[in-house]
Amino acid sequence: MADFDLQPIFAALEPDLGDPAGEPEVLSGGITNRNLRVPFEAGDYVLRICTPGVEIISIDRETEVTANRNAHAAGVAPAVAAWLPELGCLVTAFVPGEPMTTGAMAEPARIGELGRALRAVHAGPELATAFPTFTLAWEYEESARRLGGGAAPEDLELARELSERIGEAVGRLPGHEQVPCHNDMLTANFIATGDGLVLVDWEYAGMNDRFFDLGNAAVNNEFGDAEGALLLEAYFGAEPDETQVASLALMRLMSDVREAMWGVVQGAASQIDFDYGEYAAQHFDRLRRGAEDPRLEGWLRGSAS
C-alpha cells in the first residue's frame, strides 16, 4: 500500500474512472517516481506519483504527457487517461504483458519489434523541448556540485573528453537529425504484448538524435555487435552501412556518459532510497571499457572498424 494520501487523486479521477475497485499495488522499478497499479471501475490503471524538483534532471512533465500521447497514437505506448498537474499524477492505462529482461530483448524477433517501435516514435510530431545529449551531462555535473556532490576527477575527465570527441564526430556524420526521442531505453521500460513492444516511462522525452535512442537501447539491453546490426536493419529497413554502425557505437558511449552523470546528480539531489552512487560507478566502468575498444578511432571517422 502507498505511504501517502491517494484520496485527492481518487476524487479527481472518479468522474472518468469511477471508484477504486481494489487495493493499490506498488510497482517495482521506479527510481525517479512512485508507480501504483490501481483497479478502478473503468479498468486497471497506473498512477505515476511524480517526484517534485525533477527540473534538475531536465524532466518536463508537459512534454512527457505529449510524447506519451503521440506514441500511443503510433501504437507503441499506453493511453493517457489523465494528467493531474496540481496533484503531480499521471494516469495511464495498465498494459498487460510480459516485462522484459536483457536476454529476452536480445531475441531477434524482439529486436525487430524494437526497431519498428523506435521508427514509429521518431516519425512523430515535433516536441516542444529538447534533450541535448552533448550538454545535458555537464548541466547535471554543475547541479551536483552546487548540491555538494560530484564524481571522481578521473571519471569526469574521461566522460568530458569522450563527449567532446563524439560530438565533433557526429557533427560530421550524416543521419543525425533531431527527432522525437524517448531517451530512457532501460529494459524495465519495455512490455511485450501480443502486438509488439509497448514503451512506458516517457518523462525524459524530447527532441534528440535518433542514434541516441538506438545506442541507449543497445547498450542498456546488452546487445553485442550482431544484435546492434539487427536493430539498425529493423530500424532503417535495410542492411546498415558503416556510418550507421559507427554512429550506433558512438551513441552507446554517450548513453553511458548521460547515465553516469544522471547518477551523480541524483545522488546529490534525490530523496528516493536508491544507490545512485553505485549506478553511476557501473556506467563509468562501462564507459571506460568502451573507451578502450580498439575500434574507437574508426568509429570517430565513421568507419565500422
pLDDT class for 226, splitting at 50, 70, 90?
A: very high
Does the model's pTM come out above 0.85? yes
Query: Rounded to whole angstroms, how far apart are CA atoms 297 and 304?
Result: 10
- From 54-58, 72-76, 183-187, 281-285, the region with the lowest mean pLDDT: 54-58
Beta bridge partners of 83: 90
Nearest Cα to Cα of residue 291 among 256, 259, 260, 264:
256
The answer to the question of residue 51 being in a domain is yes
Q: CB under 8 Å, gap of 24 or more: what pairs does 141-148 form?
A: 141/261, 141/264, 141/265, 143/56, 143/265, 143/268, 143/269, 144/261, 144/264, 144/265, 144/267, 144/268, 144/269, 147/265, 147/268, 147/269, 148/268
Higher pLDDT, 149 or 258: 258
Q: Shortest CA distance to 121 belongs to which of 183, 176, 41? A: 183
Alpha-carbon distance 195 to 299, whole Å? 35
Residues 184 and 76 in one domain: no
Q: How many CA atoms lie within 13 A of 49 on its CB side?
A: 18
Examine residue 305 and state whether it is found in any structural domain, yes or no.
no
Give the 3-state secondary structure of residue 274.
coil
Last residue within a domain, chosen from 94, 119, 151? 94
Structural domain contains residue 1 = no
Check whether residue 103 and residue 215 sit in a common domain.
yes
Does residue 222 have a pLDDT over 60? Answer: yes
Q: Residue 29: its pLDDT value, please?
A: 65
Query: Structural domain of residue 70, as residue ranges?
Result: 7-94
CB 190 within 8 A of CB 199: yes
Condensed to tens digits (0 to 9), the pLDDT of residues 44-81 reads: 999 999 877 666 777 899 999 999 999 999 999 999 99
The answer to the question of residue 141 being in a domain is yes
Same domain flag for 146 and 73: no
State how beta strands 34-40 and 80-84 pair. Answer: unpaired
Let me know whether 115 and 86 are in one domain.
no
Q: Are residues 191 and 283 in the same domain?
A: yes
Number of structural domains (the chain) is: 2
Q: Which residues pair with 39 in a beta bridge?
A: 44
CATH number at residue 191: 3.90.1200.10
- The whole-angstrom separation of Cα 296 and Cα 305 is 8
- My answer on whether 166 and 287 are in the same domain is yes
Shared domain check, 87 and 103: no
Q: Is residue 127 domain-resident? A: yes
**Spatial contact of 119 and 235, defined as CB atoms under 8 Å apart:** yes
Instruction: Say what the pLDDT of residue 21 is.
Output: 95
Domain-ending residue, one of 78, 94, 110? 94
Three-state DSSP class for residue 156? helix
Provide long-range contacts, Cβ within 8 A and 24+ apart, for 144-150: 144/261, 144/264, 144/265, 144/267, 144/268, 144/269, 147/265, 147/268, 147/269, 148/268, 149/264, 149/265, 149/267, 149/268, 149/269, 150/264, 150/268
Place of cell 484520496: 7
Distance between CA atoms of residues 116 and 134, nearest Å: 26
Q: What percent of the chain has pLDDT over 90?
A: 85
In a shared domain, residues 57 and 150: no
Q: 152 is written with which cell numbers?
A: 571522481
**Do 43 and 73 fall into the same domain?**
yes
- The helix (run of H) or strand (run of E) holding residue 92 is strand 89-93
User: In this predicted structure, which of 172-186, 216-230, 261-275 has the lowest mean pLDDT?
Assistant: 261-275
Q: Residue 185 is which amino acid? A: M
CATH code for the domain in which residue 21 is found: 3.30.200.20
Last residue of a domain, one of 71, 94, 117: 94
Query: Which residues fall within 8 angstroms of residue 14, CB to CB, at 6 or more apart?
Result: none
Decide if 2 is inside a domain.
no
Using DSSP's 3-state secondary structure scheme, residue 167 falls into: helix
| Inside any domain, residue 221 | yes
State how far the Cα of 22 lies from the Cα of 94, in Å rounded to an integer. Answer: 14
Average pLDDT over every residue of 206-214: 98
11 and 133 part of one domain: no
Residues 155, 259, single domain; the answer is: yes
Residue 239 lies in a domain: yes
Judgement on whether residues 149 and 39 belong to the same structural domain of the protein = no
Tell me the Cα Rg of the chain. Answer: 19
Q: Indicate if the pLDDT at residue 1 is higher than 60.
A: no
pLDDT (average), residues 237-256: 98
* pLDDT digit string, tens, across residues 87-134: 999 999 999 999 899 999 999 999 999 999 999 999 999 999 999 999
